[in-house]
Each structure stands twice: as C-alpha cells, then as structure tokens.
Amino acid sequence: MRQVLDTVWQRRGTSWLWDEEARNTVCAAGEVWSLRQFLLAAVPNGSGWPEELPSNQGRTLVVAGLEGSLDLLAPDQGEVWLGDTIKRAILSFQDEWGGDGALIFWMPQGDKRLSVLPTTDAVSWLCEAPHRGNQLDFGRLLWGEANEYPQEILLREGARAAGLFHLRIT
C-alpha cells in the first residue's frame, strides 16, 4: 500500500485514524463529533453541516463512534449500513466541503481491526465478539475496491501507520 508522509490528510479527504498522536495534531478532545452528530448533519432536513469545521483551524471534522457502531451490528447488517448510510454521509460531507475539508474517523482500535491484504491492498474490517471471525469488505463498501487510492498515514519516516487516508471517495 502506498504511504503518505505529507499532512494532506489533515486538510482534505477522508481518513480512518487510530494513532492518538496523529489525532492530537488535528483536534482537541472536545472538538470530536459523535457519529450521531455526523449522521444528522448529513441527512436532508437534519442539522446540516457547520459553516466552519470544528478542528484544525476550520479545516477538519473528527468523528468518533464508527468502531462501536459496527460492533453492535451483525456482519450482514454492518455491510448494508457501512455501504449505504456511512458512505452516503461521507459523500454528503465531500459535496459540502469539496477539497477544503478533511473528514477523520477516530478509531482507537483501527490498527487491530482494519486488515490490509498486501497482495491486493484490499481493506477488511475484522468483526469483534459476538461475530469474531467475520469480516466486512471495508474497501469495496466505501471506495468500490479502488485499492490503488487509499494510503497509509505515516507521521515520520519509518514509523508505523497512524491510519488510512483516501483523497476522494466516489
């Protein structure tokens, strides 16, 4: 998988972040939105997107709760919800902010739960109890298996990945 050392993920695109140091570079704890707030902003007649994003000098929205929500769903329900509701909300954010805002999903256990198949760069979500052993085809559901596009976020040369970054989901 390609890697990004640049800070572009802090200003544009969609990321799934699990490194606390990386998260702290873009937001304070009180600026993190709940998944519920995010989904309400994305639906017609919902709360709508803010005029300015809450973090990183108005350039970033950090959302927590995706991990826990996926764990509450059976794998088949999780696939439908991820590929429909979550993807639609991401697309809504992209439509509103274009290249002027970053959407980051804070996933503290993401390094253990997102699995990248080295031969194809396909990304899977590893389900937890009571559905341990099952996987969701994360990449196919969110970015249609355009596996050449997601990149591992590195904070410095030689560091472990801090998350995954995708410039634009279609």
DSSP codes, 26-56? H--GGGPEEHHHHHHHHSTTSS---SS-SBT
- Read off the pLDDT of residues 144-161 as tens digits, 9 standing for 90 and up: 866 668 999 999 999 999
Give dist(CA 153, CA 132) in Å, integer: 27
Note the pLDDT tens digit of each residue in 67-121. 999 999 999 999 999 999 999 999 999 999 988 999 999 999 999 999 999 888 8
**pLDDT tens readout for residues 38-73:** 999 999 888 899 999 999 999 999 999 999 999 999
